[in-house]
Amino acid sequence: MEVQCYLFVLLGSKLFVDKSRDRLRPTINLFLKDHRRLTDYAWGASALAYLYRQLGVATRAGSKGLCGCLTLLQAWIYEYFPLFRPSQLPQSLDAPRASSWISPRLPGGDDARQRLACYRQLLDELSADDVTWTPYGRDGHTDIPRSLFTGPHSLF
């Protein structure tokens, strides 16, 4: 029961975040009832699909925030947009790539407004040459080892 509670909080507060800040979606609990089936679910693909959906919601008029796994979005931005990339620690190939970025501590208030204006200007002036289209190299699928892949699971 403790493991189920921990996973419920982890999934609701890290992967499938919403704007409530203090409430978790009860539907997550449906996937946690049978702990033997946890490895059958594609949690990464689910988190990515949820983030894509929330990005769509955030583009609507009147939207006041963004939900989803923002660590995933932040790591993607760092990989593809060098203009926004902070410094990076040397990392082994088997470590999560997102853990290698050193996020700067940025002040709030008026400084945050100035920083936002600066980022908006950088985005407005962005050209195709400012985007890293293949961050893992031309043959990234051969250069990066499969991590945490255990093979297909039986459907029966």
Please compute the mean of the pLDDT values over residues 137-149 and round it to a whole number: 61
Give the position of tokens 């059958």.
40
Lowest-pLDDT range of 56-60, 110-114, 125-129: 110-114
- How many of the other CB atoms lie within 10 Å of CB of 78? 20
Please compute the mean of the pLDDT values over residues 57-81 and round it to a whole number: 87
pLDDT at residue 140 above 80? Answer: no
pLDDT at residue 149 above 70? Answer: no
* 3-state DSSP helix/strand/coil % of the chain, to nearest 5: 50, 0, 45
pLDDT more than 70, % of the chain: 82
CA distance 54 to 65: 10
